[in-house]
C-alpha cells in the first residue's frame, strides 16, 4: 500500500510513541514494575493503533478495509485498557482484582475478530469524499459491537480519571486535565461514529491521544521528582542525603578542586536531652534554612547524619576559607530555637566549622576526614572559649 500524505501525522505519532516506550525501557528500567511498564505498554499500543489507522486510510477496497478493521477494533479495545491501566498508576488508585482478566478478554477478542472477520464484519463502504471506509447502514450488529466496545472503554476510562482527579493533589490541574479528557472523548467519538457515516476531513483520535500522553508525561515527571526527593534529599531538613553528597563530591573531584566545611552543632545531645528531640529537629531545620543563601548551585548542603553536615563549594580556592567561613558564621550567628512546653525559652545555638580543601583527583573520603578533624579542633576551641567566659 502506498503511504498517502494524509497518513504521515499518524506514522509520525507512531514513531514518537515507539521512542517514548524505548526511553521508558532504557532510562527508567529500574522503575519498570512501579510505573514505566504501564506507560510503555500504553505507548506501544497507541503506536499500533496509529499504524492500523494509517493502513485503513490506505485500503483500496471494502474487503481489504474489512480485514484491517478486524485488527483495528480489538487493538483499540486493548489500547484503551492499557490507557486505563496507565491512569490507575498515575493517579495511584487501587487496581481492582479482576482488572488483569481484561487483558485476556482483549486477547480473546483479538483472536476471534481476526479469525472470523468474514462473519463478524460486513464489507465496508467508502464514505463519499471522505478517507474512511464505513459499515453499511444495514449492519446493525456491527454498529452495536462498536458501541459496546467503545462505550465500555469510555465508561471505564472516565470513571478512573474522575476518581483520580478528585484527589487534592490535582486541585491546580483538575480543570485543564478534565478538558483534555473531554477533548479526547470527542476525538474518539468522531473516529468511531461520525467519521464512519459522514464526510470528515481527517481522523482525530491521534490528536486526543497525543494530548493524553502530554498529560501522562507531566505526571511521570512529577513521579520522578518525588522519587528524586525521597532518594536524594533528607526528609527532615531538605538538605541532600549522605549518599547523594558522596556521589556528588566524588564526581566534582574528578574535574575540579573542592572546598568544604564540616559543620556540627555544639552540645546538640544536651539540647535533645533537656528540651526534647522536637527542639533538636527544629535546630537542624533552622540551620539548613539559614545557610541556603550560600547553597546555590553548584554549592551543596549535605546532611551526613545527626547534627553533622557538609557544605560543599566546588571551584573554591584555598584562600577562600576566611571569606566563606565569615559568611557562614554571619548567617548562623542568629541561630536560636524556641524550646519548652510553651516555647518560651530561647536557646542560642553555636556551630563548629571545620575547613578542608582538595585538589582535582583526590579521594572524597580524605577531604571529608580532614574536614572532620578540623571541625573537632574548632569544637575544642569553642569549649575553651566557653570555659574562659563562664564565671
Q: Among 232, 260, 284, where does a domain finish?
A: 232
Q: State how far the Cα of 299 lies from the Cα of 301, in Å rounded to an integer.
A: 7
Residue 237 lies in a domain: no
pLDDT of res. 2: 46
Same domain, 189 and 302: no
Same domain, 51 and 150: yes
* pTM, full prediction: 0.68
Q: State how far the Cα of 139 lies from the Cα of 123, in Å rounded to an integer.
A: 10
Q: What is the 3-state secondary structure (H, E, C) of 224-279?
A: HHHHHHHHHECCCCCCECHHHHHHHHHHHHCCCCEEEEEEEECCHHHHHHHHCHHH
Cα 313 from chain centroid (whole Å):
29
Which secondary structure element, helix H or strand E, spans residue 309, and what is its range? strand 308-314
**CATH number of the domain that residue 271 is part of:** 3.30.70.270
Range of the domain at 288: 242-389
Tens of each residue's pLDDT in the chain, 391 residues: 444 666 788 888 889 888 888 888 877 766 777 778 888 899 999 899 889 888 887 887 888 888 888 898 899 889 989 988 988 888 888 888 888 898 999 899 999 989 988 888 888 777 665 556 666 666 677 777 777 777 777 788 788 877 877 776 777 777 888 888 888 888 877 776 666 555 555 677 778 888 888 888 888 788 778 877 888 899 899 999 999 999 999 999 998 999 999 999 998 998 888 888 888 999 999 999 999 999 998 899 999 999 999 999 998 898 899 999 999 999 998 888 887 666 667 888 899 999 999 999 999 999 999 999 999 999 888 887 776 765 5
Same domain, 194 and 149: yes
**CATH number of the domain that residue 111 is part of:** 1.20.1070
Same domain, 248 and 186: no
DSSP per-residue codes, 1-26: ----GGGHHHHHHHHHHHHHHHHHHH
Q: Among 232, 266, 294, where does a domain finish?
A: 232
Residue 51 lies in a domain: yes
226 by Cβ neighbours in 10 Å (0-12 / 13-18 / 19+) ranks as exposed
Per-residue cell: 265: 552543632
Same domain, 312 and 269: yes
Same domain, 180 and 249: no
Same domain, 187 and 42: yes
Number of domain units in the chain: 2
Instruction: Return the SS3 of 308.
Output: strand
Same domain, 121 and 222: yes
CB 261 within 8 A of CB 328: yes
Residue 372 lies in a domain: yes
Q: Among 200, 232, 264, where does a domain finish?
A: 232
Same domain, 187 and 251: no
Q: State how far the Cα of 381 lies from the Cα of 53, in Å rounded to an integer.
A: 77
Same domain, 98 and 212: yes
Same domain, 322 and 293: yes
Question: Rounded to 5 degrees, what are φ and ψ at 166?
Answer: -70, -15
Same domain, 164 and 284: no
pLDDT of res. 4: 64
Amino acid at each position: 500500500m502506498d503511504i498517502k500524505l494524509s497518513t504521515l501525522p499518524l506514522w509520525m505519532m507512531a514513531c514518537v510513541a515507539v521512542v517514548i516506550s524505548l526511553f521508558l525501557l532504557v532510562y527508567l528500567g529500574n522503575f519498570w514494575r512501579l510505573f514505566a511498564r504501564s506507560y510503555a505498554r500504553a505507548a506501544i499500543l497507541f503506536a499500533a493503533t496509529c499504524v492500523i489507522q494509517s493502513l485503513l486510510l490506505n485500503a483500496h477496497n471494502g474487503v481489504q478495509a474489512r480485514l484491517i478493521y478486524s485488527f483495528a477494533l480489538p487493538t483499540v479495545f486493548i489500547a484503551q485498557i492499557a490507557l486505563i491501566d496507565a491512569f490507575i498508576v498515575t493517579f495511584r488508585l487501587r487496581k481492582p482484582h479482576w482488572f488483569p482478566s481484561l487483558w485476556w478478554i482483549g486477547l480473546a477478542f483479538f483472536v476471534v475478530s481476526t479469525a472470523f472477520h468474514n462473519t463478524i464484519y460486513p464489507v465496508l463502504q467508502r464514505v463519499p469524499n471522505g478517507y474512511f471506509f464505513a459499515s453499511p447502514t444495514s449492519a446493525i450488529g456491527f454498529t452495536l459491537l462498536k458501541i459496546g466496545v467503545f462505550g465500555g472503554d469510555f465508561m471505564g476510562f472516565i470513571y478512573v480519571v474522575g476518581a483520580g482527579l478528585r484527589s487534592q493533589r490535582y486541585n491546580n490541574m483538575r480543570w485543564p486535565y478534565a478538558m483534555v479528557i473531554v477533548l479526547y472523548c470527542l476525538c474518539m467519538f468522531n473516529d468511531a461514529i461520525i467519521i464512519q457515516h459522514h464526510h470528515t476531513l481527517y481522523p482525530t483520535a491521534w490528536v486526543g491521544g497525543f494530548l493524553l500522553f502530554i498529560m501522562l508525561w507531566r505526571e511521570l515527571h512529577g513521579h520522578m521528582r518525588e522519587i528524586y526527593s525521597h532518594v536524594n534529599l533528607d526528609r527532615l531538613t531538605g538538605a541532600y542525603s549522605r549518599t547523594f553528597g558522596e556521589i556528588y563530591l566524588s564526581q566534582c573531584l574528578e574535574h575540579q578542586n573542592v572546598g568544604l566545611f564540616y559543620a556540627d552543632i555544639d552540645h546538640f545531645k544536651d539540647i535533645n536531652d533537656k528540651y526534647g528531640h522536637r527542639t533538636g529537629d527544629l535546630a537542624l531545620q533552622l540551620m539548613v534554612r539559614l545557610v541556603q543563601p550560600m547553597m546555590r548551585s553548584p554549592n551543596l548542603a549535605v546532611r551526613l547524619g545527626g547534627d553533622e553536615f557538609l557544605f560543599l563549594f566546588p571551584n573554591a580556592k584555598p584562600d577562600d576559607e576566611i571569606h566563606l567561613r565569615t559568611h557562614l558564621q554571619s548567617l548562623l550567628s542568629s541561630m536560636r530555637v524556641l524550646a519548652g512546653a510553651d516555647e518560651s525559652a530561647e536557646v542560642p545555638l553555636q556551630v563548629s566549622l571545620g575547613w578542608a580543601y582538595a585538589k582535582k583527583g583526590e579521594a572524597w573520603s580524605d577531604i571529608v576526614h580532614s574536614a572532620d578533624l578540623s571541625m573537632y579542633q574548632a569544637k575544642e576551641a569553642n569549649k575553651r572559649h566557653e570555659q574562659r567566659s563562664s564565671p
